[in-house]
């Protein structure tokens, strides 16, 4: 049995709110069990916690259970008051938004240390576009966003996709990675999560 707390409950809520359509019945049950334990500040059985952590890792989120020990503060900050070892939900949300904003301002320039460029083609008011961008931001993967709010431009993009990438698309978002001058279509939000991009992109 492993102790869980209300910070774990916030992660459960975030997964259910943001990725509910990606979960199967067994994963929903595991998260519901963990949510009940977290509400009571109790302890979860190892099987439930293991499944919940696999779900969190699949979506690039912090795992459940006791937080890792914080590294010692620099000597210059010894007199500063100690911060909580577990970030509050508001602090985590602010961090994700800051990362998203920073990633969205890459202006098409490949990351300084990696030979790739990632482009998210999106449109306003698209929840899956927002989820895809949030996932990339959480993983620290820089990207450029190209919005296709104009319907004519968006339809032209769809029509050109088959010739451009050998695959026809008809929805937003569409994520494209360019490496060494060669473009590869990753696909939409679901394909992004299934691609394992965050596990391989650091090798580029």
Residue 167, domain member (yes or no): yes
3-state secondary structure 94-143: HHHHHHHHHHHCCCCCCCCCCCEEEEEEECCCCHHHHHHHHHHHHCCCCC
Residue 43, domain member (yes or no): yes
Mean pLDDT of the chain: 75
- pLDDT tens, position by position, 91-147: 544 454 444 444 444 433 334 345 789 999 999 999 999 999 999 999 888 999 999
Total domains in the chain come to: 2
Residue 66, domain member (yes or no): no
- pLDDT tens, position by position, 57-78: 777 777 777 654 444 555 544 4
Exposed, middle or buried: residue 22 (CB in 10 Å: 0-12, 13-18, 19+)? middle
CA-to-CA distance for 89 and 75, rounded, in angstroms? 28
CA-to-CA distance for 96 and 102, rounded, in angstroms? 10
The CATH number given to whatever domain includes residue 164 is 3.40.30.10
Same domain membership, residue 107 and residue 168? yes
Exposed, middle or buried: residue 106 (CB in 10 Å: 0-12, 13-18, 19+)? middle
Q: Which helix (H) or strand (E) holds 8?
A: helix 6-19
Residue 73, domain member (yes or no): no
Same domain membership, residue 193 and residue 120? yes
Residue 54, domain member (yes or no): yes
pLDDT category of residue 192 using cuts at 50, 70 and 90: very high
Same domain membership, residue 121 and residue 49? no
What local confidence, expressed as pLDDT, does residue 136 receive?
A: 92
pTM strictly above 0.85: no
What local confidence, expressed as pLDDT, does residue 163 receive?
A: 93
Lowest-pLDDT range of 11-25, 37-51, 93-107:
93-107
Same domain membership, residue 138 and residue 51? no
Q: How many residues does the chain have?
A: 204
Q: Say which residue the tokens 């992660």 belong to.
A: 11
Same domain membership, residue 100 and residue 35? no
What local confidence, expressed as pLDDT, does residue 162 receive?
A: 93
Instruction: State the CB neighbour count (10 A cutoff) for residue 155.
Output: 12
Q: Which helix (H) or strand (E) holds 144?
A: strand 144-147
Residue numbers of the domain that contains 32? 2-58
Same domain membership, residue 198 and residue 102? yes
């Amino acid at each position: 049995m492993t102790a869980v707390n209300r910070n774990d409950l916030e992660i459960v809520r975030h997964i259910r709110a943001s990725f509910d359509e990606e979960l199967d019945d067994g994963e929903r049950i595991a998260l519901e069990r963990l949510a009940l334990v977290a509400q009571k500040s109790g302890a979860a059985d190892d099987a439930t916690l293991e499944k919940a952590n696999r779900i969190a890792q699949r979506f690039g989120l912090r795992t459940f259970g006791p937080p890792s020990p914080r590294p010692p503060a620099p000597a210059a900050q010894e007199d500063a008051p100690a911060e909580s070892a577990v970030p509050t939900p508001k602090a985590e949300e602010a961090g994700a938004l800051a990362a998203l904003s920073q990633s969205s301002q890459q202006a098409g320039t490949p990351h300084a240390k990696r030979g790739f460029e990632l482009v998210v083609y999106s449109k306003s008011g698209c929840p899956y576009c927002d989820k895809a961008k949030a996932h990339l931001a959480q993983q620290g993967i820089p990207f450029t966003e190209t919005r296709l709010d104009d319907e004519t431009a968006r339809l032209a993009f769809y029509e050109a996709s088959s010739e451009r990438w050998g695959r026809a698309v008809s929805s937003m978002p569409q994520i494209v990675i360019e490496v060494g001058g060669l473009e590869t279509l990753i696909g939409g939000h679901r394909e992004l999560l299934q691609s394992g991009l965050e596990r391989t992109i650091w090798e580029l």
